[in-house]
Copies of this chain bind each other. A is one copy, B any other.
Amino acid sequence: MNIDMIEAAAGRIKGHARRTPLLTSPFVDKIAGRRVFLKPEALQHTGSFKFRGAWSALSALDAEAVKAGVIAFSSGNHAQGVALAAREHGASAVIVMPADAPAMKIENTRALGAEVVLYDRTTEDRDEIGARLAAERGLTLIKPFDEPQVIAGQGTIGLEIVEQAAELGANARDVLVCCGGGGLTSGIALALEAKAPAMRARPVEPVGFDDVTRSLATGQIQRNAQLAGSICDAIITPQPGDLTFPIMNRLCGAGITVTDEDCLRAMAVAFARLKIVLEPGGAIALAAALYHGDKIEGEDVIAVASGGNVDAEVFQRALSQYGNDA
């Protein structure tokens, strides 16, 4: 993994992924006590940054592999990113999803042209099903984060941040990143290392699901004790990846943990002040900027808003509870 791979991914993505803006609001700055620059990947195709990694991976395949098609395991943002990127490459995509995934997510993935294969979480083995399908049809597996071309694709966000922060005169040390398996965080960290070494990535995680924060603190991969119980479902993973962790360990500042309630508050602020829709996990870096300023270094701060694929019910909860405080 190096900056050349990220720059090559940026070249392949140009004109396909959306170059999201860097948003600001004087009202957000007031809450945070410093200027906040938000990179809203909720506005990316399929509503999250995952489209970038998926496009990067698809566009790095040779013609034969594209013709054979790809496969991914996901019930969420990665599924939709791979489905759309595959369709735009003329590749077939098989997405293996649990049968109890929300009907809406299954429907959306199918609507983007993917073949959805459902499995029973209690009786079937996802990896076995995937391995069998891949072998039978010669499909290429697109992993959600521990895959060099996926990390390179997510790193293109870091390149854009460096350019846009310079244009807007942002004087930031910390770039706060919503962190699950670490594909987004490690990609951005590599881009910053090469292009703006005065800045560094800071992973942000839900309280109780702080595997990356603890892994960075101890220098060794730590696992989450649980995998359910936060509304930040999009960024809950068992542990950092074998590829992503060494990058984060070398380059990132300490992790920051945020409560679910603060994510809901940040969603209400993003609604009222920036006019964007964020999912809880996609709002967690903004929440850190707003409510954990004491843990942040630098005059200004940059936060990535990784996605906006949230049910109407959860969004309404954020507005009911915090819509008038924002």
Which residues of B have CB within 8 Å of A19? 21
**Contact partner of A276 among B27, B43, B316, CB < 8 A?**
B43
Which residues of B have CB within 8 Å of A323? 311-313, 316
Instruction: Please encode chain A, from 59 to 89, with 1 for each CB lying within 8 Å of some chain B CB and 0 for all others.
Output: 0000000000000000000000000100000
Near B by CB (< 8 A), chain A positions 154-171 give 167
Is the beta-carbon distance between A26 and B272 smaller than 8 angstroms? no
**Contact partner of A26 among B30, B40, B112, B319, CB < 8 A?**
B112
Near B by CB (< 8 A), chain A positions 118-135 give none
The answer to the question of A42 belonging to the interface, with a C-beta cut-off of 8 Å to chain B, is yes
Is the beta-carbon distance between A308 and B26 smaller than 8 angstroms? no
The answer to the question of A227 belonging to the interface, with a C-beta cut-off of 8 Å to chain B, is no
Is the beta-carbon distance between B324 and A319 smaller than 8 angstroms? no
Contacts A21-B21, A26-B111, A276-B43 given; indicate if A271 touches B316 (C-beta within 8 A). Answer: no
The answer to the question of A277 belonging to the interface, with a C-beta cut-off of 8 Å to chain B, is yes
Which residues of B have CB within 8 Å of A312? 268, 271-272, 319-320, 323-324
Question: In this complex, what residue of B is CB-closest to A268?
Answer: B312
Is the beta-carbon distance between A275 and B42 smaller than 8 angstroms? yes
Which residues of B have CB within 8 Å of A112? 26
Near B by CB (< 8 A), chain A positions 267-301 give 268, 271-272, 274-278
Question: In this complex, what residue of B is CB-closest to A18?
Answer: B21
Q: How large is the interface on A (under 10, 10 to 19, 20 to 34, 35 or more residues)?
A: 35 or more
The answer to the question of A225 belonging to the interface, with a C-beta cut-off of 8 Å to chain B, is no
Closest CB of chain B to A167's CB: distance in Å? 8
Is the beta-carbon distance between B277 and A275 smaller than 8 angstroms? yes
| CA distance in complex: A268, B167 (Å) | 34
Interface residues of A (CB under 8 A from B): 15, 18-21, 23, 25-27, 30, 40, 42-43, 45, 47, 84, 108, 111-112, 167, 268, 271-272, 274-278, 308, 311-313, 315-316, 319-320, 323-324
Known: A18-B23, A311-B323. 12 other contacts (CB 8 A): A15-B167, A23-B43, A25-B45, A26-B84, A26-B111, A42-B275, A43-B274, A268-B312, A275-B276, A275-B277, A312-B323, A315-B319
Task: Give 18 pairs: A residue, B residue, CB < 8 Å, sorted on A.
Answer: A15-B167, A19-B21, A20-B21, A21-B43, A23-B43, A25-B45, A26-B84, A26-B111, A26-B112, A27-B111, A42-B275, A43-B274, A43-B275, A43-B276, A271-B315, A277-B277, A311-B323, A316-B320
